[in-house]
Each structure stands twice: as C-alpha cells, then as structure tokens.
C-alpha cells in the first residue's frame, strides 16, 4: 500500500503518510477514507505527509478536484498540515491550499514533519496504525 494511516490518541492527530509512488487513485482513496472516518476519531488536527513520496503520479486536476470537495476536517478551526519536502510536492500542496483555502482557513503547507509538529504545538507524538 502506498500510504499508511495512523492516529495519535494523546494529541488526537490523524495522519496519512504517503510512500513510494503516489497516484490520483491513492489521493482520492485516502480523501474518501478521511471523509468517511473522521467522525470515528474526532481528530483535533490532521497531517498529510508526502515526505516518503518517491514518484509523483497524481495530477494538478486531482488536487483541484479534492480542494473543491467537502473538507475532511468538519471544524474549520482545527489545523491541517501538509508536509511537502520537494519543490513539485510543495507546489501541488500550495495549489490545494489556494484552491480550497476558504473552506480550510487553518491549512498549512510545510517542508518537514518537525515544522508540522511545531504548528500543532506537539512534542514527540506517538502514532498507532488504524484499521
């Protein structure tokens, strides 16, 4: 599987980590999963981590479509952070932020996991796999 979904129950952070080749279908599947399961976890924050991506095989059109979709996080005050270390991933994440920013005013795009944890004011999160 090119992604892993996990949860930190102490800080209530839902995280998806993409690894290897990330495709349009992967992004859409993860987005649907988030929309369908966010109530199950009631996360206080979300992280989408692209730092493990070795090949970008998703389109800007998919990013625009997802950005125009209903946000995964129902409470706009809860932060969502995209970790996008490379230029192409950072550009895609910023496009998502600009396209969907009105519905996601607390969306941040950063280069490292450490920056994400700083934004969330979290030190040493402990993520557990979700089923």
Per residue in 62-100, pLDDT (tens digit) is 999 999 999 998 899 999 999 999 999 999 999 999 999
Does residue 54 lie within any of the structural domains? yes
Task: Give the count of domains, the chain.
Answer: 1
pTM: 0.94
> pLDDT class for 3, splitting at 50, 70, 90?
very high
Going by C-beta distance under 8 Å and a sequence separation of 6 or more, which residues neighbour residue 122? 8, 11, 13
**What's the DSSP call for residue 130?**
-
Is residue 131, in this structure, part of any structural domain at all?
no
> Does residue 64 sit within a domain?
yes
| DSSP SS3 for 6 | strand
Domain around 10? 3-126
Q: Is residue 36 part of a domain?
A: yes
Q: What is the dihedral of CA 85, 17, 2, 67, to 10 degrees?
A: -80
28 within domain boundaries? yes
Confidence at 101, pLDDT banded by 50, 70, 90: confident
CATH number at residue 105: 3.30.750.24
């Amino acid at each position: 599987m090119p992604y892993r979904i996990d949860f930190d129950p102490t800080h209530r952070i839902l995280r998806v980590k993409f690894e290897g080749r990330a495709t349009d279908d992967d992004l859409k599947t993860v987005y649907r999963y988030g929309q369908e399961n966010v109530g199950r976890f009631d996360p206080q924050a979300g992280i989408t981590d692209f730092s493990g991506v070795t090949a970008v095989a998703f389109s800007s059109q998919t990013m625009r479509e997802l950005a125009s979709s209903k946000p995964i996080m129902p409470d706009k005050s809860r932060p969502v952070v995209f970790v996008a270390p490379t230029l192409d991933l950072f550009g895609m994440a910023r496009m998502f932020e600009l396209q969907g920013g009105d519905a996601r005013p607390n969306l941040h795009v950063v280069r490292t996991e450490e920056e994400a944890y700083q934004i969330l004011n979290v030190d040493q999160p402990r993520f557990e796999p979700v089923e």
